[in-house]
Chains A and B, each alone.
Chain A
Amino acid sequence: MNRSGLSAAALISLLLGAWEGAVRLWQIPVFILPPPSRILETAVLQATVLLPHAAVTGAEICLGIFLALATAVPLAVAMFAKPVLEKALSPFLVASQAIPVFALAPLLVIWLGYGIASKVFMAWIIIFFPITVSLLQGLKSCDAEYRILFSLMGAPFFKTLALLYWPWALPQFFAGLRVGVSVATIGAVIGEWVGAQQGLGFLMIQSNARLQTPLVFAAILWLTAMGLFLWALVGILEKKIITWKS
């Protein structure tokens, strides 16, 4: 492990130790604040309870990411190809971010029901924007001299896109995707809070009402792990794909 990894691990252990010590010292009831050891214990022992809910939330997140990719990439490319489109659409893109999407969650349940669709939609709205914006910026950041070279070679737009613009934009695309996947869990969980029959967000609300606080924390732990896993996955994918130094 490198130096920064080591110091991060040390800081985390220190915080967890302080938490554990404080709970024990002041004898804080478990339903108010369970100690980390209890949370970890619940997260492991209750895995059979957590797993089906995690599977649902995971499916929502993955579908949301997939939908976001399937829509953000073509839109960013279209806006890049036709600046008129960018001018026309960018106010809507910005406005879509100004709307507090969480306020839409109850409406989405009315429109799309208590099932998985409303949560996928929430995740999609949240992921869509960072991917679109960062990919568009990446495409636009291509140096003029390279564009000139390709235009002198007589390369049509889609060939230039495949050979030049797309690889050029990849680092920024991945930066957007990384932001996207790390906020995706938020979208899915908020959707589940408002109305659902399964999922980690649903489990949290249920356990919260029953004062099963360790289970609430265990669900948060699982969510965090899922978010970190996706984040790391994007990082690995990025390293596999971007093998060159710019």
Chain B
Amino acid sequence: MLQVTDLAKYYNGHPVFSGFDLHLPTGRFQVLLGPSGCGKTTLFNTLTGVIPKDAGTITWQGQAVTHLGNLCAYMHQKDLLLPWFSLMDNALLPARTRGSDMAGARDRAGQLFVRLGLGGFESHRPDQVSGGMRQRCALVRTLMFDRDLILLDEPLSALDAITRQRHQHLLLLLQTEFAKTILMITHDVDEALLLADDIFLLTPMPMGVFCRFSPALPKPRAFDAPELLRTKARILHHLEKGGVS
């Protein structure tokens, strides 16, 4: 379980967010939904310790930690694959930097390649495959972190709409097949509805949660399920008001 209490980050004296709370039970898929530039990435950077927090506490599995940098895996909207390595070598980066058993890691990555439809492309360079395949390779790399908590920073937003739809169910595997606890930020309402157990709508400047939706529909979900469409209408209604309560 991840518990964030009273987290604050200031920029030039102005709060990007302050008094930010988050309660993420183990195995749950939570989505922070908000417009671009509302401070979502700053939140992730603060959580992962890339920039220091100004106030607040972070607790993971009952232990207070300064940040989640060495506890979570992270997937960015850019695939961040290294162009000089093959897809396999990219996926093995976490194992390589950790200095763990490479033969075992290679086996495991090989299985994940097959599972995510990348079988046979292990020795291809990133520039030789499509954007969707690159992002799937980034997903394998994320899993190779071997960490229970995963932060997803708009992981599919660089893909075109059609490719994105096909990849949303792969993100779901993180929860259903690999039993990860997931915190995702996105500005894509449909993506949030398809994947999330809880959706938090964010207000910008300073960022805060002003509304929560927890669609209790089993997954995988159909995008045209009546309950989802009703929830979508309510979310869009809230966002239309500008998210300012």
Contacts and interface: CB of A to CB of B under 8 A. Distances in A.
A151 B70 CA distance: 9
Nearest to A152: B74
Contacts of B50: 148, 151
Interface stretch (B77-85, B115-123, B205-213): B77-85
B97 A167 contact: no
Contact of B84 (A146, A151, A152, A244): A244
Interface in A152-166: 152-156, 159-160, 163-164
A150 B48 contact: no
A167 B82 contact: yes
Nearest to A144: B50
Interface residues of A, number: 21
A11 B45 CA distance: 57
Contacts of A160: 97
Given A149-B80, A244-B83, A154 B70 contact: yes
Nearest to B151: A152
A163 B89 CA distance: 10
A246 interface: yes
Contacts of B70: 152, 154
A245 interface: yes
A246 B126 CA distance: 10
Contacts of A154: 69-70, 97-98
Contacts of A156: 97
Contacts of A245: 83, 127
Contact of B97 (A148, A159, A242, A244): A159
A154 B70 CA distance: 7
B232 interface: no
- Looking at B82, B94, B127, the one whose CB has the most chain A CB atoms below 10 A away is B82
Contacts of A153: 93-94, 97-98, 145
